[in-house]
Amino acid sequence: MSRGLTRPPRLKKGDTVGIVAPSSPPNQDQLERSLAFLESLGLKWKMGDAVLNKSRYLAGTDDERLADLHGMFEDPDIRGIICAGGGYGAARYLDRIDYPMIKDNPKVFWGYSDITALHMAINQYSDLVTFHGPMLASDVGKPDFHPLSARMFGQLFGPVELQYDESVSPLQTLSGGTARGNLAGGNLSLITASLGTKFAPELDGAILLIEDVDEPPYKVDSMLNQLRLSGALGRVSGIAIGDFRYPKDHKGDSRYEDVFESFFRGFGKPVVSGFKIGHCQPHFAVPLGTEALLDADAKTLNILPGVE
């Protein structure tokens, strides 16, 4: 994944962003509360047609959600796209997305969690840098939305090189060294589910980012083992471990830290854990598909800008 991807044009005050719900129905009250934040950034917004829809556990049918995604990329008045929330369902239409159209209309695309499926596919088939960051209903509209999470949206308004060090959160080096490569990945469950399909991320030489929520340690162990057996872990140049939140009924008989130790102590490539990236506050938003430098000895992650 060393090839250079297209960086979308930066946002400007007065621009309109499109709001989509590619997966599950977002919390409507929290979505409504998040709109003031967009306005505080100087942005106008347009709501996708399917955002208020419900079809079982999905925000409308696959056709409706896909039409919203296509429509926002095709609309020349829309300068960026921000996801209302995640959940489940984005992968259901990966094989029907018009990737050449997206490549011809590069613009900011922002979300995480189930949106990882779209990040991996758009990075690979539209050659477009996308953004792993907090979403409107899932994060922005909640009372505990963190000021640092809010500041991370600033990277959309101009080229900013990001640096993550222990001033943001304590970090742990599991395997030393330095590595350079394109940042790839996101939610571990979605990465693992993509294996064996043409939508699995390109990990050759990549810095792999992983995070997840409400998965017990034994399931995280199982997913990492699947990545190992598939050969994916052997192809990366380094690993940045984001936030892993325990299920509410976790009894404490096992820990994520023990799982990570068993896979990555003595890994032979740099591995650092503790990044506040994922289902957490603050949520340090990052561009996916840009070059990153992971220095496990200094405990730093530097990432090149995501916009032009």
Could you read off the pLDDT of 26-83 as tens digits, one per residue?
A: 999 999 999 999 999 999 999 999 999 999 999 999 999 999 999 999 999 999 999 9
Instruction: Find, among 289, 297, 290, 305, the residue nearest to 122 by Cα.
Output: 289
Residue 113 is among the residues annotated as catalytic for this protein: yes
Q: Tell me the C-alpha distance between 33 and 167, whole Å.
A: 30
- Does 296 lie in the same domain as 167? yes
Give the chain's domain count.
Answer: 2
Residue 260: give its domain's CATH number.
3.50.30.60
- Choose, from 113, 126, 194, 237, the residue flagged as catalytic: 113
Q: How high is the pLDDT of residue 3?
A: 67
Amino acid 2: pLDDT: 47
Tell me, yes or no, if 279 is annotated catalytic. yes
**Does residue 235 share a domain with residue 122?**
no
Residue 139 shares a structural domain with residue 169:
no
Q: Contact 184/203 with Cβ under 8 angstroms?
A: yes
Classify residue 41: in a domain, yes or no. Answer: yes
Say which of 23, 119, 194, 211 is annotated catalytic.
211
Which residue is catalytic, options 119, 132, 279, 283?
279
Comparing 102-116, 161-175, 242-256, the range with the smallest average pLDDT is: 242-256
Total residues found in the chain within this entry: 308
What are the distances in angstroms from CA 241 to CA 14, 244, 255, 257?
Answer: 36, 8, 14, 11
pLDDT at 175 over 70: yes
One domain, residues 148 and 33: yes
pLDDT at 250 over 90: no
My answer on whether 243 and 219 are in the same domain is: yes
- Domain encompassing residue 167: 162-303
137 and 267 in a common domain: no
End-to-end CA distance of the chain: 20
| Tens-place pLDDT, residues 207-226 | 999 999 999 999 999 999 99
Residues 25 and 78 in one domain: yes
